[in-house]
Structure 1
Amino acid sequence: MVEFDISDFGMMYYFLGLEVNQYADGIFVSQKKYVQYNLHRFLMENNNTMSTTMENGLKLVNEPEGRKVDISLYKQIIGSLMYFIATRPNALHNASLISIFMYSPRELHLQDAKRIMQYLNGTNDHGILYYMRVD
């Protein structure tokens, strides 16, 4: 502060889509508003929620004969899912799997991407708690 003009705006509550709650023993980071924003953006706010990110035993394959979907929409959903990984590492594996099909997505791949969004909606109050160690 001696060398540069810096302003203190107090505690951080919201930054780049991350909601930050600071407590005496830790910091809780979530993306509840960002989940709601993206559900509205992709017209999914009224869809059912899911308790898992993918069906058990599902095998993702390239489906040349499957119905093509809008590549732009698919890329936007994948991009949003990748940003959610900041607070939802449990969705990392599945979001990475479906991103493989980004250049030739089919209806099956879009359904899987939407299922992950539905899972995020159903677990919207989840996030990461960073404990602060006080010695």
Structure 2
Amino acid sequence: MTRIPYATKGDTPFQQVLGTCERVMWKWVDLEEELIHYGRLSVSLKEQVRRTLAEVNSCEYCKRKGKPDELHINERQVVATGFAVVFQQLNGEIPDAVFARLQETFTNEEVVELIAWITFANASQQFGAAVKLGSET
């Protein structure tokens, strides 16, 4: 059972828990929309990063959306998901060699977008894990 009761605001279980603080929920939703649908990185790349992080962060709600796709992954997705795991495991203390590999694959604008997406996805998933979102089966 989730630790925070669902509010009446929001379209998804995540939003309904966050909807307890309605203004925060709407800002969160706006930022999520911006990060997912705008920018240079593809939605599919960002989804692979999100799915990879869901496994690392143990967010049951997030993991229900599926495991990372290992069959249809391209080089950019491999680099992005690998970077996301290193970023999470090392708390942002990225070795220079890892960052250099990232910059070989992505433009600076894409690197910034990717890091913003990773930090947002981590925050969302850690929130979900903390409130036990998705634990009700």
Using structure 1 for the length normalisation, give the TM-score.
0.31
Looking at secondary structure, tell me which structure has more strand per residue.
1
Tell which structure's C-alpha radius of gyration is larger. Answer: 1
Looking at secondary structure, tell me which structure has more helix per residue.
2
Using structure 2 for the length normalisation, give the TM-score.
0.31
